[in-house]
């Protein structure tokens, strides 16, 4: 994807970019190469979404990508027929950005698409908060701390940002301080205004206080306990990345479903039913497929996700994985723990192994062929697929919005410097440029024991 948001290019795969239909959520996928070596030759990648997210709880206005400068950008590359700036223009077989009703209390937001080939959530608009408010360090940054206690399956994970402070019964596998910090982020009581206002409104609506809210916060915390890179302070950084990325993908609507052109592709004479789904917009034939055949199931259980046992003995056939995502396994993908965990795994296995001159798919990664990358690498792999255009572009609106701008990205809103979302959570925002050193450009090395079974 280029940083020319008026005509976001690059298919994340070879299939074409589709458009966002609801809530700024995005679809995506590669038709080849990401799989575990089965008959699919690799399912579509998860893709990625608009940088600013979407306020509409059920699809938003007809410019579902958000304002005209947002999802429209995500509509795809002008060179392949996509129109720019339409809030989700048609592109490479992408759907027009149909809408639903606006979400309660949600401002129109970025939206954007991330089609099968990885449409680009240029997403700039959205959210009423421009710069993201005052960032505070929150939490106690420790000297290192021990790995989180609680019987997780991680080995050699990231150093705990605050050291071990015991556990909370609502999330016994995570460090209590980290869990409390994530709760504070989601309640907008620490790093106030880091997320756009519509995201906080949706959190209150979709995750009211109690069990639902605790599950959201614990799913983020535990996904990072299990999948955060080993480098210093990446437990905390992982938490900030995931908390911000959910805005870009679904604006905190766990039921978001985007049916793009790739989702209804023809497979062996039948029509697929393969939408992107949930908080981080995973697709059954891509993220879930890849984890099913290559990911460590014990980690998924530790995070709180019950993986359907029948999938673990399922033959790797294109027709099955293309047809069951929108039907039999829809609720599985909408499950907060399963959705966040699988997407976090996908972000970080790519961030730690897909940094070379050509794509490294999970089957190759698990053979020890991963090449160190960066957080930008992981995010673009989600957005555009594992074969994203090299070199990774740190100014692409998707990683830029997740790291720096509460409202999306500088092209769609007033965003001075790097003052929102990830930067605000981490207390490293600047008014002139990205943080230096930039965590999103830090080298992250392969860890097959963490991401592979």
Residue 27 confidence (pLDDT) above 50 = no
pLDDT in tens, 59-116: 333 323 333 333 333 333 333 333 333 333 333 333 333 333 333 333 333 333 343 3
Q: What is the mean pLDDT of residues 222-234?
A: 98
Which of 170, 193, 175 is closest to 139 using CA atoms?
Answer: 175
3-class secondary structure per residue, 165-220: CCCECCECCCCHHHHHHHHHHHHCCCCCCCCCHHHHHHHHHHCCCCHHHHHHHHHH
Residue 102: strand, helix, or coil: coil
Q: What is the pLDDT of residue 167?
A: 81
Q: What is the pLDDT of residue 407?
A: 81
142-166: burial string, b at 16+ Cβ within 10 Å, e else:
beebebbbbebbbeebbbbbbebbe
- Per-residue CA distances from 306 to 24, 255, 279, 298, 299 (Å): 27, 18, 17, 10, 11
Q: Give the long-range contacts of residues 86-91, CB within 8 A, separation 24 or more.
A: 87/61, 87/62, 87/63, 87/111, 88/19, 88/20, 88/21, 88/63, 88/64, 88/112, 88/113, 89/19, 90/19, 91/16, 91/17, 91/18, 91/19, 91/115, 91/119
Q: Which of 32-46, 167-181, 347-361, 363-377 has the lowest mean pLDDT?
A: 32-46
Beta bridge partners of 266: 271
Percent above pLDDT 70 for the chain: 62
Q: What is the pLDDT of residue 410?
A: 63
pLDDT band per the 50, 70, 90 thresholds, residue 414: confident
Q: What is the mean pLDDT of residues 107-131?
A: 33
Q: Measured between alpha carbons, how far is 222 from 406 in angstroms, rounded to an integer? A: 24
- Whether 272 and 266 have beta carbons less than 8 Å apart is answered as yes
Q: What is the mean pLDDT of residues 282-287?
A: 95
- Whether 281 and 249 have beta carbons less than 8 Å apart is answered as yes
Burial of 445 (0-12, 13-18, 19+ CB in 10 A): middle
Q: What is the mean pLDDT of residues 204-227?
A: 97
pLDDT in tens, 238-268: 999 999 999 999 999 999 999 999 999 999 9
Q: Measured between alpha carbons, how far is 84 from 333 in angstroms, rounded to an integer? A: 31
- The length of the chain in residues reads 453
Q: Measured between alpha carbons, how far is 432 from 237 in angstroms, rounded to an integer? A: 21
- Whether 66 and 36 have beta carbons less than 8 Å apart is answered as no
pLDDT band per the 50, 70, 90 thresholds, residue 166: confident
Return the domain boundaries, the chain: 1-453
- Whether 23 and 59 have beta carbons less than 8 Å apart is answered as yes
């Amino acid at each position: 994807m280029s940083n020319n948001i008026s005509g976001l290019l690059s298919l994340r795969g070879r299939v074409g970019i589709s458009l966002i239909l609801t809530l700024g959520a995005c679809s995506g996928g590669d038709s080849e190469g990401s799989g575990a070596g089965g008959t699919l030759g690799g399912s579509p990648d998860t893709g990625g979404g608009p940088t600013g997210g979407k306020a509409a709880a059920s699809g938003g206005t007809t410019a579902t990508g958000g304002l005209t400068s947002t999802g429209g950008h995500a509509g795809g590359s002008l060179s392949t027929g996509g129109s720019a700036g339409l809030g989700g223009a048609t592109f490479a077989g992408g759907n027009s950005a149909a809408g639903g009703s606006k979400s309660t209390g949600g401002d129109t937001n970025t939206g954007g698409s991330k089609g099968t080939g990885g449409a680009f959530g240029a997403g700039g608009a959205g959210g009423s908060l421009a710069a993201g408010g005052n960032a505070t360090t929150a939490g106690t940054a420790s000297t290192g701390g021990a790995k989180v206690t609680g019987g997780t399956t991680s080995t050699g994970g990231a150093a705990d940002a605050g050291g071990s402070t015991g556990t909370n019964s609502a999330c016994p596998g995570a460090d209590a301080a980290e869990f409390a910090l994530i709760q504070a982020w989601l309640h907008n009581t620490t790093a106030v205004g880091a997320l756009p206002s519509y995201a906080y409104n949706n959190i209150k609506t979709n995750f009211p206080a109690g069990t639902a809210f605790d599950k959201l916060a614990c799913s983020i915390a535990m996904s990072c306990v299990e999948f955060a890179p080993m480098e210093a302070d990446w437990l905390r950084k992982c938490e900030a990345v995931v908390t911000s990325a959910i805005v870009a993908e679904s604006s905190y609507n766990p039921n978001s479903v985007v049916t793009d052109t790739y989702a209804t592709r023809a497979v062996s004479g039948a029509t697929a039913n393969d939408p992107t789904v949930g908080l981080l917009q995973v697709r059954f034939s891509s993220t879930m497929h890849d984890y099913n055949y290559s990911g460590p199931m014990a980690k998924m259980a530790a995070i709180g996700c019950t993986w359907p046992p029948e999938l673990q003995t399922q033959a790797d056939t294109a027709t099955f994985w293309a047809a069951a995502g929108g039907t039999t396994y829809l609720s599985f993908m909408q499950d907060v723990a399963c959705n966040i965990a699988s997407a976090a795994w996908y972000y970080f296995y790519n961030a730690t192994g897909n940094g070379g001159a050509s794509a490294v798919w999970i089957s190759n990664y698990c053979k020890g062929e991963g090449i160190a990358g960066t957080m930008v690498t992981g995010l673009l792999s989600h957005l555009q697929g594992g074969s994203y255009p090299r070199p990774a572009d740190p100014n692409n609106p998707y990683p830029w919005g997740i790291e720096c701008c509460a409202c999306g990205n500088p092209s769609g809103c007033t965003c001075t410097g790097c003052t929102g979302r990830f930067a605000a959570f981490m207390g490293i925002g600047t008014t002139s440029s990205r943080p230096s050193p930039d965590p999103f450009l830090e080298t992250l090395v392969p860890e097959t024991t963490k991401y592979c079974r």
